[in-house]
Amino acid sequence: MKLIASLTSPYARKVRIVLAEKKIDCPLQEALPWVEGTTVPEHNPLGKVPVLELDDGTTLYDSRVIVEYLDNISPVSRILPQENRPLINTRRWEALADGICDAMVAIVLERRRPADKQMPEWIERQQGKIERGLAALSHDLGDRQWCNGVSYSLADIAVGVCLAYLDVHAPQLAWRELYPNLAALLERLFTRQSFIDTQPPAPAERAA
């Protein structure tokens, strides 16, 4: 089994955290989907990471499919609830967190275009998604310690990865001041070794 991923991808980081939490040994092949000559489309026809290559050569994508597979192959540190209602709630948290990341990635890619070709209205639309998404995350979390209200789960992993990604790419949002309950959640998550060990490289260390 092998994980094909970018170290800066929030979706890949979610998978890497799950691997660490479940103590699954899986080598990482770093791949950048946006560089010329990338081999990512050979593993995923959509040209996206992460991709999990199984021992028989089968490939799994996207991150939601991969984390479900990983949770099912090992009973260690289950991250998905077994009962339907809590499971659906966890998946809802994950969908919202991933959606915020989608919007942030769209902004990052748009800002890589020449300034005269960028669409301010597109960026503004994505920013609206991020702002509404953060408000919803904070409202749903309330004063609970964990997203599901009972214990650490994939919901917390997805939300934590999302918040950390915003810290890197949108520090001007000042979300910590707006939503102190989300800030407290992220602080709790960064006491876990899985979050510490999967931090993306500093900007100066990143590949082009």
User: Residue 207 above 50 pLDDT?
Assistant: no
CATH architecture observed for domain 2-78+197-205: 3-Layer(aba) Sandwich (3.40)
pLDDT for position 203: 65
Q: Strand order of the sheet with strand 28-30?
A: 28-30, 2-5, 51-53, 59-60
Residues of each domain in the chain carrying CATH 3.40.30.10: 2-78+197-205
What is the signed CA dihedral for 88, 90, 91, 95, rounded to 10 degrees? 140
Q: So what's the pLDDT on residue 36?
A: 87
128: which strand partners? none
Query: Per DSSP, what are the bridge partners of residue 3?
Result: 28, 52
β-strand 51-53 against 28-30: which pairing, if any?
Answer: unpaired
What mean pLDDT do residues 181-195 have?
98
The CA distance from 28 to 2, in Å, is: 6
Residue 96: the pLDDT is 98
> CA-to-CA distance for 138 and 189, rounded, in angstroms?
16
Q: Tell me the chain's radius of gyration from C-alpha atoms.
A: 17
At residue 205, does pLDDT exceed 80?
A: no
Measure the CA–CA gap between 128 and 67, rounded to whole angstroms.
28
pLDDT tens-digit series, residues 33-78? 888 889 999 999 999 999 999 999 999 999 999 999 999 999 999 9
Q: What is the pLDDT of residues 139-177, one digit of tens each?
A: 999 999 999 998 999 999 999 999 999 999 999 999 999
User: Which residue intervals of the chain bear CATH 1.20.1050.10?
Assistant: 84-192
Average pLDDT over residues 181-206: 90
To the nearest whole number, what is the mean pLDDT of the chain?
Answer: 95
Region 78-97: mean pLDDT is 97
Domain spanning 84-192: CATH 3.40.50.300: no
